[in-house]
Amino acid sequence: MSDTLFSRIVRREIPADIVYEDEEILAFRDIHPQAPVHVLFIPKRAIPTLDEAAPEDALLLGKLMLAAAAYARREGLAERGYRIVINCRGDGGQSVYHLHLHLLAGRRLSWPPG
Ligand code: DGP
């Protein structure tokens, strides 16, 4: 497993408020929440960016999205709605190079993003 900040959270070397875990995925609350609900869903196996995801990662990427959707449903967020974001590299606003999906919910989100 490559050593990213988020891999250290997976290994429990850095504390995080973990809200979901399965064999392949970990989800925890963002340290700088941009909405009342801001949870990051990451694959335990680090892929640096979406651009580096390979066809073999398709199932894992799908599982990440479905895990976020299931979490939103469980937490009663689905009816009002939510946003899923993946930032890719500099212009996309990515700061941690371990692919992750942001789940944002709990307020009306504006569009387009800044
Ligand atoms: P991005 O900019 O898309 O790479 O998002 C990275 C997010 O990770 C950002 O919203 C802040 C969050 N983050 C950074 N460091 C930590 C940390 O140590 N713990 C937690 N829970 N979140 C972090």
- Residue 110 located in a structural domain: no
List the domain range (segments joined by +) for residue 69: 5-105
Flag whether pLDDT at 1 surpasses 90.
Answer: no
- CB 91 less than 6 A from any atom of ligand 1: no
Largest CA distance in the chain: 37
- Residue 38 located in a structural domain: yes
- Residue 20 located in a structural domain: yes
- Residue 78 located in a structural domain: yes
Looking at residues 8-30, what average pLDDT do you find?
Answer: 98
The Cα 90–Cα 61 span in angstroms is 21
3-state secondary structure of 58: helix
pTM score > 0.85 for this model? yes
- Residue 111 located in a structural domain: no
Ligand 1 atom nearest the C-alpha of 5 is: 18
| Catalytic position from the list 38, 98, 100, 102 | 100
The first and second tokens of residue 3, run together, are: 């050593």
The Cα 114–Cα 77 span in angstroms is 23
The number of folded domains in the chain is 1
pLDDT band at 114 (very low <50, low <70, confident <90, very high): confident
- Residue 53 located in a structural domain: yes
For the stretch 21-80, pLDDT in tens is 999 999 999 999 999 999 999 999 999 999 999 999 999 999 999 999 999 999 999 999
For the stretch 23-40, pLDDT in tens is 999 999 999 999 999 999
CATH code: domain of residue 80? 3.30.428.10
- Residue 81 located in a structural domain: yes
